[in-house]
Structure 1
């Protein structure tokens, strides 16, 4: 019996909240009912675990009252009402609404004060007393942005000006001269191309030091394909210099992309295959350069070879160069060779502009010229272009949120001993509308127009396929003008799997045939991010405006984008 009683006593002692966790109640009153209501509006904590917590809460209430203008509030003694209740009283006294702050105009800019006060004069400015703390922090941050990170400021000589206003002097303490970046040290990826610091991030030596601005800029490193920021930048201050440390790592930026498509030929009813290989090499020389190689052979006996080389920041300047070679062969009808040279200027991490030349030469391969619409010709265009890119690096499946590329070309075509002025305009833009973490809508607009008095078949625009309007054969559609919209409703099952719908629509004109047509594509697909890369599956059925739905018109497209 004694053992049982002793055991019960131990259990009660260990688990009883009555002995060790007794709640204490706090009540704070004002000198009047109105003052009590003001104190209650501060939502102070009324239940505490010990007296020290009560004392701390009372001190916090006094500080809050001081910040809103009751700087003369007076606290009476904290009294214990009973075993679990404490009460006290705070006399709020007068509330001061406005403070007149006198300043030294040699240490603070007049324009800065105008951003925080509506009433700024030559030697003082007016401010609501409740805003003093936030305003002082704001002023200090702006002074730090000017290269004075160790600046301090406070109010001194605070006096009562009249019944509801105060006056004070603004004291600013800072070093004699501004801090500038004397050295930039990169850790982790020491061979990171330095030109990207100066022209992409806009960070360079002899620049006024501002740590917050530097952190915002270095976050843009995660938008680069070939580098990531490991941790936020750090600073080493010495007596006469400021060293900035950046912590980076080189990431996998090369990719290999290919897809396999198959469908039934309407004339032969045989299964036909098409596909392409796309190789992208980025920053292998630690210069930020990129090289793209594309070879495509599709079911229409068309072959495409394309090579692109981009060299950014030539000779450490903000100017880069883009070179492109494209060879297209249509069965035994014709070949077309495009050569382009463009200079680009990176305005910032999102915006880029281009200017250059585009040369095209096409040859008729028919031994017997049975087609009057295929002819040898040469063109010389001047090119202007603009590119906008907005990334979302947090999403591994869709790392780019929106993109716009607009290009215009104008020049002359030489054919049959005659010259003719031409222009070519193209646009490619997409946007992802994120509804929430799992649901999003993808919208893409793609189009081009060739403006000329006469047209040849071998200079027409070509579109159709997985990267154009889905449900149609690759590059099977020839036009002088086309516009298409791709839409997808996407649902992410997790960070590596998504499913989506396919609803595409297009309109095109062929002025050689005097044809105008509307096209539609419907289907579904999914994507899986594997260790090998992003695997995509698309099933789409294409039809024109007056055509009935046929299952035999369906196309299945498979692709895999592998990073290495």
Structure 2
């Protein structure tokens, strides 16, 4: 029984909160009772207060602990005389620092601020252990004259990056990502920037604070990483009315497989397949290699194939080089070759004018920018994301032997073609359980001879909901997605949505289209995946507002 009482007493003692109250010889400086979780933080508070008064010129200030109990401390700060730092000489300060920063103005506050600036400059140029103090002090009453005394300490250079923790990330990849130069001068700023860059990586997260290991005038940054579950397998099933067989349902499908950071080198591979209706399918393949030949450039290869029922077949092969200009911004340069061929020309054997479809080849060169200011990579709650691209190239129309030659007589077979797109996404976090999401997207394509297989394809889960996938063709487009989200988990929420858009398709429709859709859904986090269910209704020139045209999309996004 006695042992139990002693144990309870010990636990209660360990949980006791500590208090501090102090006053000074100047009644204008005082503080009432303040709570601290432990003795160390209370001592740090006392040291901080004393240092603050030193910086104000009270060089002889000291603590007098008048009353001290088990959980409380009442102290008195004896200030003493207030000294004035009148003049500071150059001392042994290097001339280049004097030229760049000058000498500090009179006063201890000015000296403290100036010395911090100098030390920050030195620690970013290889001298992290530099110290700066006042020397050769002369006193005339309460007036002090002094000169600077700089001890730069040893010159430190960067050594290789070290990677620890539960990660497959290679040290060479991390060296390139952080841009810490082996053999370069140590820089505290570079170390801090590197930590910020790593905290934004989609492949891993920092499992604990980074550290520095100093030895023989070298510094090795140590980063503790933990891999994220970023690989994606996403399957979506759509139930749509079968327009060819009324009363029956057409099952469509989509598969997204994305593998990231293969081999710990930032190497990615993605496969996207989609079946929009019975005869229409698309396939997208892409691969990315980071830090090509240890340069700051990244290269991506992409192949896309679109079979539009029995009408045409589009395919392109693209190469993309991108360079990260800041922690949040990337600039891209790309080129691609696009080819489009008619699948069947039976309906065009007797035409006198070129139909709305044609065979062509288009060589494209473009530039893009990407800005990611979201608060986190997955399930963001705040911030913006911007992506924009502009591309231009020469389009060459190929004469199809299945179409009469006279249909090409008045057509310019070689013409320049321009394409531009922009997308802006905004997340708002109103309350803990309430957020809003907006996305605006716009684009245009310009050419003297536009065909249906030149146009943008829109509609479906990732663009304008409430319509079939790739339901719309557009020369110019703009749409806005809006969602109200009610969160009940990290990546779980109920949502209602509204999409509004503007579409211009002068080839198939004389009037501009203004599609509108609305609906509701759920995003449910389930362990290593996310289940999605969305129900939507849409209205446009081509689709009436009716429950018989409603769209249901559900699928499971698995991360591993």
TM-score, normalised to structure 1, is 0.80
Match of 1:180 in 2: 157
Distance 1:112 1:436, change over 3 A: farther
Counterpart CA distance in 2 for 1:57 and 1:325 is 62
Does the alignment pair 1:43 with 2:31? yes
Match of 1:527 in 2: 523
Please say if residues 518 and 545 of structure 1, whose CA atoms lie closer than 8 Å, have aligned partners that are also in contact.
Answer: yes
Match of 2:343 in 1: 365
Distance 1:379 1:101, change over 3 A: same
Please say if residues 286 and 301 of structure 2, whose CA atoms lie closer than 8 Å, have aligned partners that are also in contact.
Answer: yes
Q: Deviations over 1:105-144 (max 9, x none)?
A: 317713663xxxxxx4xxx421443454455445433322
Please say if residues 323 and 330 of structure 2, whose CA atoms lie closer than 8 Å, have aligned partners that are also in contact.
Answer: yes
Counterpart CA distance in 1 for 2:20 and 2:307 is 87
Match of 2:134 in 1: 155
Does the alignment pair 1:551 with 2:528? no
Match of 2:201 in 1: 224
Shift of residue 498 of structure 1?
Answer: 1.4
Match of 2:495 in 1: 500
Does the alignment pair 1:110 with 2:98? yes
Q: Deviations over 1:296-343 (max 9, x none)?
A: 001364210111111222221222322111111111111111121222
Counterpart CA distance in 2 for 1:183 and 1:42 is 50
Distance 1:440 1:170, change over 3 A: farther
Does the alignment pair 1:538 with 2:524? no
Counterpart CA distance in 1 for 2:250 and 2:470 is 15
Q: Look up the SS of the partner of 2:209 in the other structure.
A: strand
Pick one of 57, 82, 89 that aligns with 1:69. Answer: 57
Shift of residue 536 of structure 1?
Answer: 1.6
Please say if residues 167 and 204 of structure 2, whose CA atoms lie closer than 8 Å, have aligned partners that are also in contact.
Answer: no
Q: Look up the SS of the partner of 1:213 in the other structure.
A: helix
Q: CA RMSD in A?
A: 4.0
Pick one of 333, 337, 346 that aligns with 2:315. Answer: 337
- What pairs up with 1:353-432 in 2 under 5 angstroms? 353-370=331-348, 372-393=355-376, 396-398=378-380, 401-415=383-397, 416=399, 418-432=413-427
Match of 1:7 in 2: none
Please say if residues 430 and 444 of structure 1, whose CA atoms lie closer than 8 Å, have aligned partners that are also in contact.
Answer: yes
Match of 1:323 in 2: 301
- Structure 1, 504-513 or 209-218: larger mean CA deviation: 209-218
- Structure 1, 539-548 or 445-454: larger mean CA deviation: 539-548
Q: Look up the SS of the partner of 2:346 in the other structure.
A: coil
Please say if residues 306 and 326 of structure 1, whose CA atoms lie closer than 8 Å, have aligned partners that are also in contact.
Answer: yes
- Structure 1, 279-288 or 262-271: larger mean CA deviation: 262-271
Q: Look up the SS of the partner of 1:369 in the other structure.
A: helix
Does the alignment pair 1:144 with 2:139? no
Please say if residues 446 and 484 of structure 1, whose CA atoms lie closer than 8 Å, have aligned partners that are also in contact.
Answer: yes
Q: Look up the SS of the partner of 1:209 in the other structure.
A: coil
Match of 1:234 in 2: 211
Shift of residue 496 of structure 1?
Answer: 3.7
Distance 1:158 1:537, change over 3 A: farther
Distance 1:111 1:523, change over 3 A: farther
Does the alignment pair 1:469 with 2:457? no
Which protein is bigger by CA-based radius of gyration?
Answer: 1
Counterpart CA distance in 2 for 1:229 and 1:299 is 44
Counterpart CA distance in 2 for 1:133 and 1:275 is 66
Counterpart CA distance in 2 for 1:46 and 1:406 is 53
Give aligned pairs, total. Answer: 517
Counterpart CA distance in 2 for 1:57 and 1:199 is 41
Match of 2:437 in 1: 442
Distance 1:132 1:525, change over 3 A: farther
Please say if residues 396 and 495 of structure 1, whose CA atoms lie closer than 8 Å, have aligned partners that are also in contact.
Answer: no
Distance 1:272 1:227, change over 3 A: same
Distance 1:74 1:445, change over 3 A: closer
Q: Deviations over 1:398-441 (max 9, x none)?
A: 39954322222211222246212211112233222333444332
Distance 1:253 1:236, change over 3 A: same
Match of 2:283 in 1: 305
Distance 1:515 1:413, change over 3 A: farther
TM-score, normalised to structure 2, is 0.80
Counterpart CA distance in 2 for 1:332 and 1:56 is 77
Please say if residues 381 and 429 of structure 2, whose CA atoms lie closer than 8 Å, have aligned partners that are also in contact.
Answer: no
Match of 2:231 in 1: 254
Shift of residue 237 of structure 1?
Answer: 2.2
Shift of residue 203 of structure 1?
Answer: 1.4
Please say if residues 490 and 498 of structure 1, whose CA atoms lie closer than 8 Å, have aligned partners that are also in contact.
Answer: yes
Q: Which runs of 5+ in 2 are unaligned?
A: 1-8, 10-15, 36-42, 68-73, 400-407
Q: Look up the SS of the partner of 1:125 in the other structure.
A: coil
Please say if residues 195 and 313 of structure 1, whose CA atoms lie closer than 8 Å, have aligned partners that are also in contact.
Answer: no
Match of 2:483 in 1: 488
Distance 1:97 1:488, change over 3 A: farther
